[in-house]
Structure 1
Amino acid sequence: MNSRKTRLVLAIVAAVAVFGYKTLHHTPDTDSGKTIASKQSTAPVAPIKPTLLGTLAFTPCSLSSPFSKDALEAQCTRLEVPEDRGQPNGRKIALNIAWVPASENGSATPDPVFFIAGGPGQSAVDSYPGLDPVFKEVRKHRNVILVDQRGTGKSNVLSCAADDDDGSTGTPTPEVMQAKALACVDTLSKQADLRHYTTTDAITDLDAVRQAIGAKQINLVGVSYGTRVAQQYAMRYPAATRSIVLDSVVPNTLGLGNIFARNLDDALALQFGVCSKNPACKTALGDPRAELDTLLAKLRAAPPTVSYRDASSGEWKQDVLHADSVAGMVRMYAYMPLASSLLPKLIHEANGGHYEGLLALIKMMSGEMKDAMAMGMQLSVVCSEDAASMVAREEDSHTLLGNTMSEGMAAMCKIWPKGTPPTDFHKALATQVPALVLEGEFDPVTPPRYGSEVVKTLPNSRLFVLKGQGHNVIGAGCMPKLFAQFIEQADGKHLDASCLDTLAYAQPFTSFNGAAP
């Protein structure tokens, strides 16, 4: 992945990464003639008689993901739905669906769990295998249903190819980003009406799947952007919603255009504060935020060419280390405080002229996250639902991310085809449906105050803020056990959460041997 492409992706995708990180990618779908993500993994195991769930006929398949070493046996199928429900005889989308059956045969309850991935732009089918251990107890008696949201995975994925390196440096201007988006529109409009790939379209698809499998009610588990989908579904289909789990919640009321810079700086203050409060770490590494600012100033003035060892091949390579790449890497590692505990040491080493560790991590991250997000679908969602909030703010100008992202996203959304959300789209979800709301104390994207806002209008809800955790916390500590109890009982208020008290802060590395004793 070249430096120009790295900078473009960091500048664009980080702006919406409730919302994640990827290189733009475009691959033909050899199965359907559509376009799919290249790492979809639902190949049939054997040509045997399909298994019916409701009216849908499923065949065996294996699910895998870059973050899970083992394949997960499942059942897969497709369901055709209109792209534009106002034109039911027009173009159809084949929704990619996977069914992970209850592990105790014959014991499945009638209310399955629907897992909804984040992004927007992630594939639920590809994202789930790494989370399956979290669902172990839930899956004993409940089926898990995975639906690739339209525009992701194998549901007519909307991704665009990035241009090769043009030799320029620095962060792309809003004009460059707009030109890239316009080229993306030209490409994707051949296969899709980009106005019809919004959250509102997606929840109608989810309910079509619910009806097709014959489920009267479902339990929704949403992570990050998936919490917006879950809230919108519960708002539009309350009778069909048995319970909702909102992990790293995005409030319905929130416009996502310029939340990222301030939220990241606040989270870094907390995460780096663990080092500042540790005498050994502070003595060895100084003030991590001041060190980061010093490093970024150096890199902006004179980005160095660095030799580093490639994590996948073990080969020594060279590339230029840019400030924008470091800022993007810091942001992504801030999602995971355990991983970010290495950052103060790496930043301190880089200020001493040792850049190789930092660049190796950046390259490893870019490789792991490649193809994880469908950028075209992401733009269809955020430009339709959040464009009005994409404005620069003076108070963000001196943050790590600044206003570059909100300005770039605003430029792209000016030319992106937009759907029209319902007039009450940004109304707070107010329902009696039982809800479990999870937040990480150090979340750089959806901080705990978002959870506090959401539960105000959910009388049957329970909020857990997990100490020292970042983004996507359902798998932390004893949370899987509490999650399973909530799904079983549909009651969060009586959960005994004392086991969460054992969660501890990740101590920063003061050397490459680990944290100080």
Structure 2
Amino acid sequence: MDSRNALKAAAIALAVAAVAGKALWRPADHGGGAAPGADLVQKPGERGFTLGTLAFAPCELETDQTAATTPAWCAPFQVPEDWQHPDGRRIDLKLALVRGNAPLAERDLVVLLAGGPGQAATEAWPRARGGFAPLLEHRNVLLLDQRGTGGSNALNCKGEDGDDTEQPFDLERVRARTRACLDAVSKHADPRFYTTGDALRDLEAVRAALGSPQFDLVGVSYGTRVAQQYAARYPRGVRSIVLDSAVPNEHALGAEFARNLDVALQAQFAACKAAPACAKAYGDPWANLLHLRETLRARPVEVAYRDPFDHAQRTMKLGPAVLAGLVRMYAYLPETSALLPLGIARAQAGDYASLAGQIRMLGRDLESLAENAMQLSVICSEDADLLPASGDDATTLLGSEFVDTLRAQCTIWPHGARADDFHAAFASDKPVLLLAGEFDPVTPPRYAEQIAKTLPHGRVLVAKGQGHSVMGRGCLPKLVARFVDTLDAAALDAGCIADFSAQPAFIDFNGAAP
């Protein structure tokens, strides 16, 4: 798998209360000896407010690939790039606050910790906000682009043209591209200081500047690592924790991606085999996928297709690596995974155009994440020495090339510091709600169950038939808000999750069988 495809495969979260001249917070008992947080002050006639020492002004958060924006309040914030040398280079962090609906909001702040690694919270918010709607009834949401992402001195490296097409796997080419990327980002950043540990210092500095409120942490995917690490090091700053699609501290990012994908796909495709109409149309979709991979491995195909964005006629070289990347990312969501048996069957019959169009759309969607090298600062510093040996995943759909690419990149990329207890199991007496999707191809439910073993006030909810990142699904937004209100995961009436079910596979482009 070419490094471009490997990075894409790896990747993957307002109303304004205007009570002028008053403190816009509801009194709350936070317990634990934590500071209650500063008053939010808005003076008569002013479009803006102060919270702690920070002055917030109106701003708009952009939505990727659209002209739509989301209103928020932004404040400038600057930190040392190297916390051990605060007199050195300083970097600007993008910080935003989304005001809730209540005139008197709770003092604690909900904090979205985005995934990736490499996703920016302010960029994830427009698509994630639906899952936060019940939380916004009584609380405000804080968005901080983690250093190296979005508006926080992003470590971006421009991709090459033709990133959607198959390229021969060449580790020397991987290293050359990594060196070029390092040269580019080194002009404005030292990649050693863009790790999870550095981001924790940033978040705690923001909390102090805000007047030391307690945080309700909502981590998604990689963001669950940030949440666990922050809560372990700054427990006084944490009121509650929601871990959506969680990864245990003990695990290295990327180490089990290939095996988890195979298990999730086989489970999803088994549901197709069990449905008479689907079984009649496709037989065994997993066997079909493996057969298609071998066909493309023997001879990649040149595919002519219409670009789904501008309808121009284009061509793409489609091989096993690009196929694996598409299948992996489509397995994340039930709506896209339902398309896989149909696309595979069409390709087996010689019609590759639909797969090519889907690959093109996926490439555009993941472009910004694939070009962000902050993920290398995280993985090379925190996980590289724990990745499996070359060849361990050779028999999987994703293969060993993904891990081999990471290992090659980490021989070039500078390594930052990692705490001695970084990979210790997360143990806490904080209230924790863990959410998992039954068919998650990257962070399966067993990860959440593993984390919960050391959390006396933790509870796991598994959404049947769902994939990765489930907080916005069905009744889960309301359950999350109720949990944050009550701080009692065990008492949640979660019977509504029984209504979740798997998305039936498409029999044709009109949809599933009636």
Fold match, TM over 0.5? yes
Partner of 2:189: 192
The match for 1:180 among 174, 177, 182 is 177
* Secondary structure, counterpart of 1:75 in structure 2: strand
Distance 1:166 1:241 in 2: 41
Distance 2:164 2:443 in 1: 36
The match for 2:149 among 139, 152, 155 is 152
Partner of 1:97: 95
Partner of 2:486: 489
Partner of 2:314: 317
The match for 1:84 among 82, 85, 88 is 82
The match for 1:9 among 4, 7, 13 is 4
Q: 1:413-449, CA deviations, whole angstroms, 9 ceiling, x for partnerless residues?
A: 0121111111001111111110010111100000111
Cα distance change, pair 164–133 in 1 and its aligned pair in 2 (3 A): closer
Partner of 1:201: 198
Distance 2:412 2:405 in 1: 12
1:60-459 equivalent positions in 2, closer than 5 A: 60-66=58-64, 70-105=68-103, 107-164=104-161, 170-373=167-370, 375-392=372-389, 394-459=391-456
Quote the offset at 1:168 in angstroms: 10
Distance 2:213 2:102 in 1: 21
One-letter identity of the residue aligned with 1:387:
A
Cα distance change, pair 255–372 in 1 and its aligned pair in 2 (3 A): closer
* Secondary structure, counterpart of 2:442 in structure 1: coil
Q: 1:278-317, CA deviations, whole angstroms, 9 ceiling, x for partnerless residues?
A: 1221111121111111112222222222222221223333
Percent sequence identity over aligned pairs: 48
Distance 2:369 2:137 in 1: 29
Quote the offset at 1:180 in angstroms: 1.1
Partner of 2:21: none
Q: Is the 8 A contact 1:246 1:436 kept in 2?
A: yes
Quote the offset at 1:393 in angstroms: 5.6
Distance 1:359 1:12 in 2: 19
Q: 1:449-489, CA deviations, whole angstroms, 9 ceiling, x for partnerless residues?
A: 10010000111111011100100000111001101101111
Q: Is the 8 A contact 2:8 2:369 kept in 1?
A: no
One-letter identity of the residue aligned with 1:100:
V
Distance 1:225 1:168 in 2: 27
* Secondary structure, counterpart of 2:507 in structure 1: strand
* Secondary structure, counterpart of 1:410 in structure 2: helix
Quote the offset at 1:321 in angstroms: 2.1
Quote the offset at 1:49 in angstroms: 5.3
The match for 1:55 among 53, 56, 64 is 53
The answer to which of 316-325 and 213-222 deviates more is 316-325
Cα distance change, pair 165–355 in 1 and its aligned pair in 2 (3 A): closer
The match for 1:508 among 482, 485, 505 is 505
Gaps of 5+ in 2: 13-44
Cα distance change, pair 272–490 in 1 and its aligned pair in 2 (3 A): same
Quote the offset at 1:77 in angstroms: 1.7
The answer to which of 212-221 and 67-76 deviates more is 67-76
The answer to which of 272-281 and 158-167 deviates more is 158-167
Q: Is the 8 A contact 1:391 1:410 kept in 2?
A: no
Quote the offset at 1:201 in angstroms: 0.5
State the TM-score, normalized to the length of structure 2. Answer: 0.90
Cα distance change, pair 364–7 in 1 and its aligned pair in 2 (3 A): farther
Distance 1:166 1:456 in 2: 42
* Secondary structure, counterpart of 2:106 in structure 1: coil
Q: Is the 8 A contact 1:122 1:373 kept in 2?
A: no
* Secondary structure, counterpart of 2:143 in structure 1: strand
State the TM-score, normalized to the length of structure 1. Answer: 0.90
Quote the offset at 1:68 in angstroms: 7.8
* Secondary structure, counterpart of 1:66 in structure 2: coil
The answer to which of 358-367 and 392-401 deviates more is 392-401
Q: Is the 8 A contact 1:111 1:215 kept in 2?
A: no
Distance 1:59 1:103 in 2: 18
Quote the offset at 1:505 in angstroms: 1.0
The answer to which of 285-294 and 431-440 deviates more is 285-294
Q: Is the 8 A contact 1:257 1:388 kept in 2?
A: no
* Secondary structure, counterpart of 2:7 in structure 1: helix
Q: CA RMSD in A?
A: 2.0
Q: Give the paired residue count.
A: 482
Q: Is the 8 A contact 2:224 2:245 kept in 1?
A: yes
Cα distance change, pair 258–171 in 1 and its aligned pair in 2 (3 A): farther
Cα distance change, pair 437–168 in 1 and its aligned pair in 2 (3 A): closer
Q: 1:25-69, CA deviations, whole angstroms, 9 ceiling, x for partnerless residues?
A: xxxxxxxxxxxxxxxxxxxxxx97542111111110111323888
Quote the offset at 1:394 in angstroms: 4.9
Cα distance change, pair 376–250 in 1 and its aligned pair in 2 (3 A): same
One-letter identity of the residue aligned with 2:52:
G
Q: Is the 8 A contact 2:111 2:142 kept in 1?
A: yes
Q: Is the 8 A contact 1:120 1:373 kept in 2?
A: no
Q: 1:370-420, CA deviations, whole angstroms, 9 ceiling, x for partnerless residues?
A: 213553211000000001122336552111011111111111101211111
Q: 1:496-515, CA deviations, whole angstroms, 9 ceiling, x for partnerless residues?
A: 00011011111011122211
Distance 1:209 1:148 in 2: 12
Cα distance change, pair 53–167 in 1 and its aligned pair in 2 (3 A): closer
Q: Is the 8 A contact 2:164 2:360 kept in 1?
A: no
Distance 2:69 2:47 in 1: 22
